[in-house]
Structure 1
């Protein structure tokens, strides 16, 4: 009796881990290249720093590593959209600060700079991630 319950619990935990990994957009085929960002730039709390390069150059580097769905500029910042996530590159001293966040939060913070990007609170928003167009 106990062994059957342990097997079911173990299978449920394994399935949950697989589903969470599959549904995560970071480092997926179309998601934010988070692993690459972590290896390339210096961690600084919840962000990463490039102490030398301007936001435009850093955004180019990130986009060259993995193409973003969309890109916008405004207020000396660069924005890259990856499905349900967003990368914001802003000035930091003579370099740049890189933030990765949920698209809804990023859109709420920076909508004035995002031009024609879709409003994540609209009924038509799908995010562009797994299950897009369902």
Structure 2
């Protein structure tokens, strides 16, 4: 129980990352056709237009890995008071969000890019706390 109270901030950040990325990755897998269809239109007329299925696949895999890593990080924090997986999770979340930001900026979806800011702040706060 001491590890829970000692690492509560880190665990809450990891839970946020877990929910955000696992849900997003599972949604992409469950509705592949809908997601790729919408994104093909979203990226039409950009340098990324021909790469939508590849990009969605890469992002989906990274999001699911980030979610699974968050689970491992929470377990390691609670069981061993070890924060290494937690740091890696937050870093991977930041990298993934930067990839998403790049896509939104290329598509000139500035509102969508702005939406990612809140997620990035939480993830970079995790990096800051854990490093």
Fold similarity call, TM over 0.5: no
TM-score range, shorter chain: 0.3 to 0.5
Task: Give the structure with the higher percent strand.
Answer: 1
Larger Rg: 1
Task: Give the structure with the higher percent helix.
Answer: 2
What TM-score comes out, normalization by structure 1 length? 0.35
